[in-house]
Structure 1
């Protein structure tokens, strides 16, 4: 068994800036046995090399369904099966059904509405002269888009945000479980209301109606699971992609000046943020379905494996000068949206929202600058982002 590296020994600095730690680990090898900091606090294998991470993301021997691992809490029991906890052939079936409803045409049709919401938020924010960018802009944009897309009625956004934050950046195991259970209850009611109301021209209504050629449909549990995944993944990651893009530009004045001078560079700035400071630090857990080796390291059957997306993005073997932020960089092949059959279904929507948000913000607030230090970095090893970002203009 490989030596155990206790990440808690790196202290609070690891949460704020994990990149030097990942660089140190990469220098020692692409795969390590680690103990995660609290609130997770358990042991896992961590893949930190780009090539190894890319291969692991597409390796069918690394299962997403934790059900076969004794003692593992099964999200499926509370929420229902969804894409991030399913393997082929079940994953193949679920993804085919969801992509029938969540089409490229449906995402592209959102472009005018995304722009409208962006402008309305800035109309409210800009006269104030200063704001917390997360609260005033980066959070309400994607949550409004995904709620409208799914057909979620106006609801208590503060309560939903609390549940959602606890799911992706848990403060403890019990609090995390309670948040998942509360979301399950809410989504069950929402789906029942949708069924009772009849056909609706929204994504959740389309998922309820979607039928494959052989008559296959999503079960009640699968519908709840997919609604859970789309709601959580559909806004939490984009909140932090927008925030991280702005934060990174504001702390790199030369690159900010270049993007301001040529707003066509916004797309490159978003892609470089995905590589340099992406919103998903590590992919959700996989489990060794059989004994295997990654870069010569033996992984026993049943062991959890965490694949470092942030670590892979800073691998100097893949990207020259990986710690330099450069909106002109060719970022093709970055792993911020994953790779293989679990590649992020919502990547086109996330890109649309982030590009629209960044381009419009820089155009309408040419004097945008930091107004103090950012809030604390989110806990846990899943989401990479700050709780607040004070800005002025």
Structure 2
């Protein structure tokens, strides 16, 4: 009772601490609420940028993998299955002894690439478990494709069947025409595929609409709602970002062609002496009648562009911090030098097993194993 009597005589002992503690608790609640609000907005912005960057880089990954297939695996498998012996019959040598397979003859002329460790007479090698698909042209026949070209390399005149082969191999003219037609058909198709792939890629990256739309849907900022055509501009125009590292034809992306094709073969006369003479296409077959640039041979991307895609494109996307109870302007005190306001960052890449040696799996050694990866 004595204690309560003392408290009753001294009400300030409870009142004064309450006047200090209760406002402090209210301030803490407001601080917690405002911190949560700004943290939630930053998390939303980070998720939006990560999603947008990952989706947009997927276009690059698709183009690189599909180009690698067109450069190596597709022509190797097509010609291997068509002209390997068996099922094709070997061609006899004119000297009277020995024979050669059409697949080997055309490869030696530089008509198409093949796997370095290809097994003669077997089915095309399965390369899924290989980190590097060592598919290459005969270096003596196509020295221009030994390394990755740094510019457009067209071949004005290509000998599908060389004069030396025409002399030494018992190849009849009608058979040679069949080889030419099939070769032109295959590489015309491959060229159309690559042309279509690049056209789609170019349209998707012309203004990077996938990035803009993904960011718009996930961030839903007032700027994006008011001006959807400029939504995500901070991220796209970042230094070292998407706009500064576009793949453009004639700059860092090249498609190589041959304009004319020549081949030699024996034309049988029906007479006993001589039974044949060495014929050749005269004039050479004009491939520009099929396509203005000629017959497609290869598509390449410069080493510097592939290396940059491997190390990553930076995306700095600015956002506006919401107002708060304490009237602290986070748009000023928390601004990024890249955007002039608060920002979130993503580093997005497309990488292949040859990342440590330049990230080039397009040509040489076309290996369609690029993957999109995202880093903070």
**Greater radius of gyration (CA):** 2
TM-score (norm 2): 0.25
Larger fraction in strand = 2
TM-score (norm 1): 0.24
